[in-house]
């Protein structure tokens, strides 16, 4: 029998040399005439240890990392195939502190299974939820999603059950389901990890959702910067079709994104799928009533959908009991930026920033004090280290003037220049604006100029007032959240870090 070794094919791991390590293991095994089967799993998300190699042993999967090709002969000498001692040995994978501290539910299989093996997926509980959904029928599936308290993980946090109920209730000859895998937020990678590491979970979830609302066709809109995710997902679709999980009453296809942040906004994405430029549509009607090609369309983020099988299988009450009263379930937080242990951290909503960044992430990579944390992508607020005890849930984040967004957490140490970050946030809006409405298209360009004048201390007081008014106009007069939320990072940077703008706290208190 051949020994089994896992080397992630996840593009994060590949970017730090996982494929070279897999090649070196294959070569060394051949040289030593050892039968070794290499499985290219997804990543478990403990990125500080990637490339993380795991050997299947009688004591479980023993992890080693980060492994370089040059380490491979030494690993063989140390008997790593049987879990032998080596300076890179981290121990049983699930017991690594970074992973043991988590509550892996949606990401239970990521990094564990062979993403391209449907049998492995089934062996790890796959397609049980689909069978259960067929057993209980569409109405009870929708009830379960409503009762679970699941909210959209793409950014807006809208209750999923309401969308399902609306789409199910809409009368039409055709309905669609669209998975938003555009994942444009800075510091985020949860969608990619599902697409590359557990693709059948998304297929299963979309099949459950399609049956629940009566859709016969679906699209997965994957950002163009994710070619590996497209490849894995396409292979998984073909495998699911071959086993008739797809292709009878429901089928799916992939659409590659158009390379613009705003194409992740759901109506711009629908425009893009229909073959037009990604421009935001007016709402109402909401997509659940009139979406793709004017038909009722259920649009969800990858993580929202990937949360569905566990809800159907374990029950709405189980899911609802995780998290807080109005922020139910778990969120795969994506810890990035200046942090010692970056990666995917799935925790119940309500965990604190300190637990996440200091506890699991072990503070900054530079060893310097944490100064700022941006939560929720490029439109999220910058919070100061003094707010590390805030809970990560929808309400608390809103109360703190921020958003949870897609769960991206970017950490900065005390060398960050927050004036530059504020300018960058406004410039991001100017660059990515779809141009449909004036406050966003022109306001963001003028906003960059005003911030530059404030930084240069030219009429700082008058320009601060101007910026505040401009931000009010953008927040209240923009059609979508790109223009509407761009003021959040800008004003939070000024409010919490006035010294970087050479402003006194008094000036800020009066003006912002």
Ligand X SMILES: Cc1cc2nc3c(=O)[nH]c(=O)nc-3n(C[C@H](O)[C@H](O)[C@H](O)COP(=O)(O)O)c2cc1C
- Report the interface residues with ligand X, using CB under 6 A: 152-156, 158, 180, 182-184, 261-262, 264-266, 299-301, 304, 480-482
From ligand X, ligand SF4, none, interface partner of 437 (C-beta below 5 to 8 A by class): ligand SF4
From ligand X, ligand SF4, none, interface partner of 434 (C-beta below 5 to 8 A by class): ligand SF4
- Given a contact cutoff of 8 angstroms between Cβ atoms, the answer to whether 66 and 51 are in contact is yes
Least distance in angstroms from the C-beta of 26 to ligand X: 36
Is the Cα torsion angle 219, 199, 53, 348 positive or negative in sign? positive
Rounded CA-CA distance 152/39 in Å is 33
Nearer to ligand SF4, 437 or 493 (CB): 437
CA distances from 351 to 154, 158, 318, 348, 395 (A): 19, 20, 18, 6, 13
- Given a contact cutoff of 8 angstroms between Cβ atoms, the answer to whether 118 and 243 are in contact is yes
Least distance in angstroms from the C-beta of 47 to ligand X: 21
Q: What are phi and psi of 428, to 5 degrees?
A: -60, -45
Binding ligand SF4 by CB under 6 A: which of 169, 227, 369, 435?
435
Least distance in angstroms from the C-beta of 218 to ligand X: 14
Contacts of 55 by beta carbon, 8 Å cutoff, 6+ apart: 3, 4, 5, 6, 61, 62, 64, 80, 81, 82, 83
Rounded CA-CA distance 344/356 in Å is 10
Q: How many positions of this chain bind ligand SF4 (CB under 6 A)?
A: 14
Structural tokens at position 190: 């949860």
CA 401 to chain centre: 21
Nearer to ligand X, 97 or 475 (CB): 475
Least distance in angstroms from the C-beta of 51 to ligand X: 27
From ligand X, ligand SF4, none, interface partner of 299 (C-beta below 5 to 8 A by class): ligand X
Q: Peptide bond before 66: cis, by omega within 30 degrees of 0?
A: yes
Q: Which of 317, 325, 394 is nearest to 146 (CA)?
A: 317
From ligand X, ligand SF4, none, interface partner of 503 (C-beta below 5 to 8 A by class): none
Rounded CA-CA distance 85/57 in Å is 13
- Given a contact cutoff of 8 angstroms between Cβ atoms, the answer to whether 106 and 311 are in contact is no
Least distance in angstroms from the C-beta of 215 to ligand X: 15
Least distance in angstroms from the C-beta of 153 to ligand X: 5
Least distance in angstroms from the C-beta of 162 to ligand X: 10
Nearer to ligand X, 86 or 223 (CB): 223
Q: Give yes or no for residue 180 binding ligand SF4 (CB under 6 A).
A: no
Q: Which helix (H) or strand (E) holds 452?
A: helix 443-455
3-class secondary-structure state, position 48: helix
HEC readout, 58-119:
CCEEEEECCCCHHHHHHHHHCCHHHCCCCCCEEEEHHHCHHHHCCCCCCCCCCCCCCCCCHH
Nearer to ligand SF4, 109 or 223 (CB): 223
From ligand SF4, ligand X, none, interface partner of 304 (C-beta below 5 to 8 A by class): ligand X
Q: Which of 147, 124, 151, 120 is nearest to 39 (CA)?
A: 120
Least distance in angstroms from the C-beta of 151 to ligand SF4: 22
Nearer to ligand X, 299 or 422 (CB): 299
Binding ligand SF4 by CB under 6 A: which of 140, 354, 368, 436?
436
Q: Which of 270, 203, 189 is nearest to 234 (CA)?
A: 203
Q: Give yes or no for residue 375 binding ligand SF4 (CB under 6 A).
A: no
Q: Give yes or no for residue 443 binding ligand SF4 (CB under 6 A).
A: no
Binding ligand SF4 by CB under 6 A: which of 440, 467, 470, 488?
440
Q: Which stretch binds ligand SF4 (CB under 6 A): 7-15, 199-207, 244-252, 428-436?
A: 428-436
Q: Which stretch binds ligand SF4 (CB under 6 A): 26-34, 211-219, 344-352, 479-487?
A: 479-487
Q: Give yes or no for residue 483 binding ligand SF4 (CB under 6 A).
A: yes
HEC readout, 280-343:
CCCCCCCCCCCCHHHCCEEEEEHHHHHCHHHHHHHCHHHHHHCECCCCECEEEEEEEECCCCCE
From ligand X, ligand SF4, none, interface partner of 387 (C-beta below 5 to 8 A by class): none
Residues, the chain? 512
Q: Which stretch binds ligand SF4 (CB under 6 A): 319-327, 378-386, 417-425, 434-442?
A: 434-442
Nearer to ligand X, 395 or 507 (CB): 395
Q: Give yes or no for residue 262 binding ligand SF4 (CB under 6 A).
A: yes
Site for ligand SF4, rule CB under 6 A: 262, 280, 433-437, 440-441, 478-480, 482-483
């Amino acid at each position: 029998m051949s020994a089994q070794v896992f080397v992630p094919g996840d593009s994060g791991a590949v970017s730090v040399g996982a494929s070279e390590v897999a090649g070196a293991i294959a070569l060394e095994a051949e040289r030593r005439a050892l039968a070794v089967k290499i499985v290219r799993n997804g990543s478990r998300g403990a990125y500080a240890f990637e490339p993380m190699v795991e050997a299947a042993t009688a004591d479980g999967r023993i992890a080693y990392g980060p492994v370089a090709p040059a380490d491979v002969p030494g690993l063989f000498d140390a008997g790593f195939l049987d879990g032998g001692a080596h300076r890179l040995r981290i121990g049983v994978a699930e017991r690594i502190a970074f992973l043991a501290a988590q509550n892996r539910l949606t990401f239970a299989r990521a990094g564990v299974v062979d993403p391209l093996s449907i049998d492995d997926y089934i062996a790890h509980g796959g397609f049980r939820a689909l069978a259960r959904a067929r057993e209980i029928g569409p109405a009870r599936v929708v009830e379960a999603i409503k009762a679970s308290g699941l909210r959209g993980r793409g950014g807006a946090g809208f209750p999923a059950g309401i969308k399902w109920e609306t789409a199910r209730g809409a009368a039409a000859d055709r309905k669609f389901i669209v998975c938003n895998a555009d994942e444009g937020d800075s510091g985020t990678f949860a969608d990619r990890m599902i697409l590359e590491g557990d693709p059948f979970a998304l297929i299963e979830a979309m099949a459950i959702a399609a049956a629940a609302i009566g859709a016969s066709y679906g699209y997965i809109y994957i950002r163009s910067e994710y070619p590996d995710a497209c490849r894995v997902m396409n292979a998984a679709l073909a495998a699911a079709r071959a086993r008739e999980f797809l292709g009878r009453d429901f089928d799916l296809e992939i659409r590659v994104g158009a390379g613009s942040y705003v194409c992740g906004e759901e109506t711009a994405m629908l425009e893009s799928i229909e073959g037009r430029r990604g421009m935001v549509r007016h709402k109402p009607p909401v997509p659940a009533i009139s979406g793709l090609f004017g038909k009722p369309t259920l649009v969800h983020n990858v993580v929202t959908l990937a949360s569905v099988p566990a809800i159907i299988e374990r029950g709405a009450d189980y899911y609802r009991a995780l998290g807080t009263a109005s922020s139910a379930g778990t969120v795969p937080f994506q810890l990035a930026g200046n942090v010692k242990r970056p990666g995917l951290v799935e925790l119940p909503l309500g965990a604190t920033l300190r637990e996440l960044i200091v506890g699991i992430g072990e503070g900054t990579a530079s060893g310097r004090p944490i100064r700022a944390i941006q939560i929720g992508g490029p439109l999220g607020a910058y919070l100061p280290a003094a707010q590390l005890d805030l809970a990560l849930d929808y309400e608390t984040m809103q109360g703190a003037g921020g958003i949870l967004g897609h769960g991206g957490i970017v950490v900065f140490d005390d060398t960050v220049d927050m004036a530059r970050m504020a300018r960058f946030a406004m410039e991001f809006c100017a660059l990515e604006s779809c141009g449909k409405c004036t406050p966003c298209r022109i306001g963001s360009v003028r906003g960059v100029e005003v911030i530059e004048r404030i930084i240069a201390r030219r009429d700082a007081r008058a320009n601060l007032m101007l910026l505040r008014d401009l931000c009010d106009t953008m927040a209240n007069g923009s059609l979508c959240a790109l223009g509407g939320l761009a003021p959040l990072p800008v004003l939070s940077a000024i409010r919490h870090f006035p010294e970087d703008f050479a402003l006194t706290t008094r000036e800020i208190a009066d003006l912002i």
